[in-house]
């Protein structure tokens, strides 16, 4: 027991290093959702209210949507200690990632054995997928940890029944962390109850209490769904609500040459949904996604490689082989079924969304069974390395692994930040910090709101007092027309866009934060005499992102 404790400690040190090194710079900057998490946490910390003044809400009201609250709440201590910056936001994810690694060790140890448990922890530690999501304010890292521990306590509950209550409590909280849990968690619970039905005494007191706890915890979420707030996002992104699907069905039905009855048989929502969902499901297990290209979204993946390392194919193969051959042993068989079951249902929530084919965030819950399979494969190989024939293979795999891991680390730390600055909305920090330092010199400050919604970035980087904000904030819809500018106001800050040529309205007493992409389409415009360029914010690739200027003394009306 003691030896493995030391190994685990080493693994955790490695995990921490990988996740903390240059955390403020890699990924390159806080993107919109992260900034939102941070400022909401700050607002809650200072005032106990979210942006819109709701007291300790069940769903946090952000500017464009309602968000699952638990990750934001968990960020409060980090914001309190480290302040409104990258560390304050991201350390929460790092924290949940590390707890998750401990969790996968405990869970795998319970399911199989301690050695495999350690390997599982190791693979999760070095997993590019897990590293990526532990280093930014994504909720899925926290979700994964809760799911892992929920399962772990469920298994503990097979012996000591009161743990079942802890398990369902954790599971019940998962929809408050990230929405895929709404689909996944019930499926997982159902499968586990089915697999272990003989051992948990379904009609017993503890299980009943556990289910009651689950239902109680979910009631507030249920109310929110009925009132439409939490379901809103799903209806936009799901396969079921998607307008393209409905249009396609109508079009197909029109083109159909068969009689109407047949039309409906071949072209209906069921068939179309089934088609989309099954394609999405198949893609989660495709080599393109896992080993070759990863998620096409630049913010979710490093590209040039898949969600996992290439060498892990070999380990996965051995793991599957080993898994299938172990199906016969009695007790172990149940645990194997759990791993298989998790593997089967994991891509389902993502498959239900319209673009869920290669989605690294929504498919994040695939990681535990994948990592366990990798561990099983490694264990299998190592056991056979005692036979000399395998030593050569093991050596090769190790070499290959080293190659892959170096490639990833180099790509992630050296290239990714400068390549993907746009995906991470680089530039706001510098721009808003400038505003913060200099705003006292100006009567008004006009900030572009078309490139990205700027309000939340402004609040975060200027460390705007939430109390003030709650008093001053009216709406983020355009409600003001200053001369030549249309948007909404907060105090002396305007967020919106120019309604005409801005050279004519610039004023020396006003500061303008403009977007290179949207406002200054041609850099020649800055040469105009009426404009006094104060600062340009450049990307790591030396492209201008923001131009900050005020007017010269020639006032034009």
Partner 1 sequence: MSQYSIFLMEQMKFNYKLSLLIITLFAAFVRLVFLDQFPNGFTGDEAQQGYSAYSILKTGKDEWGEILPIFPRGFGDYKPPLYTYLTVPSVGLLGLTVEAVRLPAAVIGILSVLVVFFLAKELLKDERIALWSSILFAINPWHIQLSRTAFEGGVGILTFSIGLLFYLKSGIRNLILSSIFFSLTLYSYHSWRLFIVLFIAGLILSSWKKLISIKYWIPGLILLIFILPLMININSVLKRSSDVGVFSKDRITGYFSNKGTSSLYPIVDRLLDNKFVYVLNEFSGNYLSYFSPGFIFGDDRSDNTYLNFPYSPLLYFIELIFWLFAIYSLITKRLENRKIIILWFILAAVPASLAVGSMNANRTPTLLPLASVISAIGAVYMIEKWKYANKIISVSLLISFVFFLHFYFLKLPQKPPDNLRYGYDQVFKKILEVESQYDQVVTSKAFTEPQIFIAFYSKMDPVEFQMASTDWLRYEKSDKLYVDQLQSWNLGKFYFEDLNWNLKDSNRENALIVGKPEDFPQDVESILDVYDHKKKMLYRLIPVNYEKN
* Residues near partner 1, by CB under 8 A: 252, 255-258, 266, 271, 278-279, 282-283, 285-288, 291-292, 310, 313, 321, 324-325, 327-328, 403, 407, 410, 414-415
Rounded to the nearest whole angstrom, what is the least distance from the CB of residue 306 to partner 1 in the complex?
A: 9
Pairing of strands 60-61, 66-67: antiparallel
CB of residue 274 to partner 1, shortest distance in Å: 9
Residue 369 tokens read as: 């069974």
Residue 279 C-beta: closest distance to partner 1, Å: 5
Tell me the longest C-alpha to C-alpha distance in the chain.
87
Do residues 137 and 92 make contact, with C-beta atoms less than 8 angstroms apart? yes
Smallest gap from residue 356 Cβ to partner 1 (A): 13
Which structure tokens are listed for 100?
Answer: 């998750």
427 sits in the region (left: phi over 0; alpha: psi -120 to 50; else beta) called: left
* Shortest Å distance, C-beta 283 to partner 1: 5
Give me the helices (H) in 135-259, please. 140-156, 163-173, 180-195, 197-200, 205-226, 231-237, 243-255
The CA distance from 350 to 348, in Å, is 5
d(CA 47, CA 79): 14
Shortest separation between residue 248's beta carbon and partner 1, angstroms? 12
Nearer of residues 7 and 285 to partner 1, judged by Cβ? 285
81 vs 292 by CB, closer to partner 1: 292
CB 190 within 8 A of CB 211: no
Q: Looking at the chain, how many residues does it have? A: 557
How far apart, in whole angstroms, are the C-alpha atoms of residue 259 and residue 278?
28
Give whichever of 178 and 281 is closer to partner 1, judged by the CB atom.
281
CB of 316 to partner 1, least distance (A): 12
- The answer to whether residues 539 and 523 touch, using CB atoms and an 8 Å cutoff, is no
Is cis: bond before 325, omega within 30 of 0?
A: no
Compute the least distance from the CB of residue 343 to partner 1, in Å: 11
Strand order in the sheet with 480-482: 480-482, 485-490, 493-498, 444-448, 510-515, 544-551, 531-538
Contact present, 496 and 481 (Cβ < 8 Å):
no
Torsions phi, psi for 112 (to 5 deg) = -125, -85
**How far is 87 from 91, CA to CA, in rounded Å?**
6
Q: Which is nearer to partner 1, 288 or 383 (CB)?
A: 288
Q: Which is nearer to partner 1, 211 or 320 (CB)?
A: 320
Q: Which residue is it, tokens 């990205």?
A: 452
Q: Which is nearer to partner 1, 162 or 413 (CB)?
A: 413
In whole angstroms, how far apart are CA 399 and each of 311, 395, 406, 489, 497? 9, 6, 11, 59, 55
Task: State which residue, 228 or 270, has the beta carbon closest to partner 1.
Answer: 270
Q: Which is nearer to partner 1, 206 or 285 (CB)?
A: 285
Closer residue to partner 1 in complex, CB, 303/535: 303
* DSSP structure class, residue 453: -
Q: What are phi and psi of 139, to 5 degrees?
A: -75, -20
When the beta carbons of 251 and 474 are compared against partner 1, the nearer one is 251
Nearest CB to partner 1, comparing residues 279 and 533: 279
Smallest Cα–Cα separation from 307: which of 349, 370, 351? 370
Chain mean position to CA 398: 31
Q: Residue 435 and residue 212: Cα distance in Å, rounded?
A: 52
- What spatial distance separates the first Cα and last Cα of the chain, rounded to whole Å? 79
Element (H, E) at 459: helix 455-461
- The CB-of-374 to partner 1 minimum distance in angstroms stands at 17
- Smallest distance, Å, CB 349 to partner 1? 18
Quote the least distance from Cβ 257 to partner 1, whole Å. Answer: 6
- Give 132 or 283: the residue with its C-beta nearer to partner 1: 283
Provide the minimum distance between the beta carbon of 89 and partner 1 in the complex, in angstroms, as a whole number: 29
Q: Which is nearer to partner 1, 161 or 283 (CB)?
A: 283
CA angle, corner 111, sides to 108 and 117, nearest 5?
25
Other C-beta atoms closer than 10 Å to the C-beta of 169 total 17
Nearer Cβ to partner 1, position 244 or 288? 288
What gap in Å lies between CA 155 and CA 165, rounded to an integer?
12
Minimum separation from the CB atom of position 427 to partner 1 (A): 23
Q: How far is the CB of 159 from partner 1 (least distance, A)?
A: 30
Q: Provide the 3-class DSSP secondary structure of residue 400.
A: helix
Strands 485-490 and 480-482, sheet pairing: antiparallel
């Amino acid at each position: 027991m003691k030896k493995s404790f030391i190994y685990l400690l080493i693994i955790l040190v490695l995990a921490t290093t990988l996740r903390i090194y240059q955390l403020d710079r890699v990924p390159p900057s806080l993107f919109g959702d992260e900034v939102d998490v941070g400022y909401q946490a700050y607002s809650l910390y200072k005032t106990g209210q979210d942006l819109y003044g709701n007291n300790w809400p069940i769903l946090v009201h952000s500017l464009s949507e309602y968000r699952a609250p638990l990750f934001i709440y968990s960020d409060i201590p980090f914001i309190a200690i480290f302040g409104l910056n990258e560390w304050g936001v991201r350390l929460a994810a790092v924290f949940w990632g590390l707890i998750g690694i401990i969790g996968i060790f405990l869970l795998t140890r319970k399911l199989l054995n301690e050695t495999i448990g350690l390997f599982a922890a190791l693979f999760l530690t070095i997993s590019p997928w897990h590293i990526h999501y532990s280093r930014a304010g994504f909720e899925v890292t926290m979700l994964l940890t809760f799911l892992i521990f929920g399962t772990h306590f469920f298994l503990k509950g097979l012996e000591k029944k009161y743990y079942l209550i802890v398990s369902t409590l954790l599971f019940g909280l998962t929809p408050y962390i990230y929405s895929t849990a709404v689909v996944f968690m019930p499926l997982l619970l159902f499968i586990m109850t089915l697999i272990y039905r003989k051992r948990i005494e379904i009609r017993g007191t503890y299980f009943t209490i556990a289910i009651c706890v689950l239902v109680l915890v979910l009631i507030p979420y249920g109310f929110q769904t009925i009132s439409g707030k939490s379901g809103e996002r799903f209806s936009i992104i799901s396969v079921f609500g998607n307008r393209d699907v409905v249009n396609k069905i109508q079009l197909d039905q029109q083109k159909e040459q068969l009689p109407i009855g047949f039309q409906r048989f071949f072209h209906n929502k069921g068939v179309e949904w089934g088609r989309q969902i099954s394609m999405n499901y198949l893609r989660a297990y495709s080599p393109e996604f896992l080993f070759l290209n990863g998620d096409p979204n630049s913010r979710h993946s490093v590209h040039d490689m898949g969600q996992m390392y290439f060498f892990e194919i070999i380990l996965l193969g051995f793991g599957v082989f080993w898994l299938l051959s172990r199906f016969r042993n009695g007790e172990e068989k149940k645990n194997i079924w759990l791993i298989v079951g998790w593997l089967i249902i994991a891509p389902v929530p993502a498959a239900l969304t319209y673009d869920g084919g290669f989605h690294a965030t929504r498919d994040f819950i695939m990681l535990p069974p994948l990592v366990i399979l990798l561990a099983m494969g490694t264990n299998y190989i190592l056991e056979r390395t005692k036979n000399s024939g395998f030593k050569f293979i093991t050596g090769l795999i190790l070499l290959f692994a080293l190659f892959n891991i170096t490639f990833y680390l180099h790509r992630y730390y050296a290239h990714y930040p400068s390549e993907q600055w746009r995906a991470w909305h680089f530039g706001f920090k510098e721009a808003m910090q400038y505003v913060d330092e200099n705003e006292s010199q100006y009567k008004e400050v006009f900030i572009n709101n078309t490139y990205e919604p700027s309000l939340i970035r402004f609040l975060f980087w200027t460390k705007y007092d939430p109390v003030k904000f709650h008093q001053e904030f009216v709406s983020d819809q355009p409600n003001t027309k200053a001369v030549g500018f249309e948007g909404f106001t907060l105090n002396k800050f305007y967020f919106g866009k120019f309604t005409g040529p801005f050279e004519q309205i610039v004023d020396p007493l006003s500061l303008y934060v403009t977007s290179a992409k949207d406002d200054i389409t041609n850099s020649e415009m800055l040469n105009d005499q009426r404009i006094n360029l104060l600062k340009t914010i450049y990307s790591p690739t030396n492209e201008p992102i923001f131009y900050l200027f005020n007017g010269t003394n020639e006032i034009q009306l």
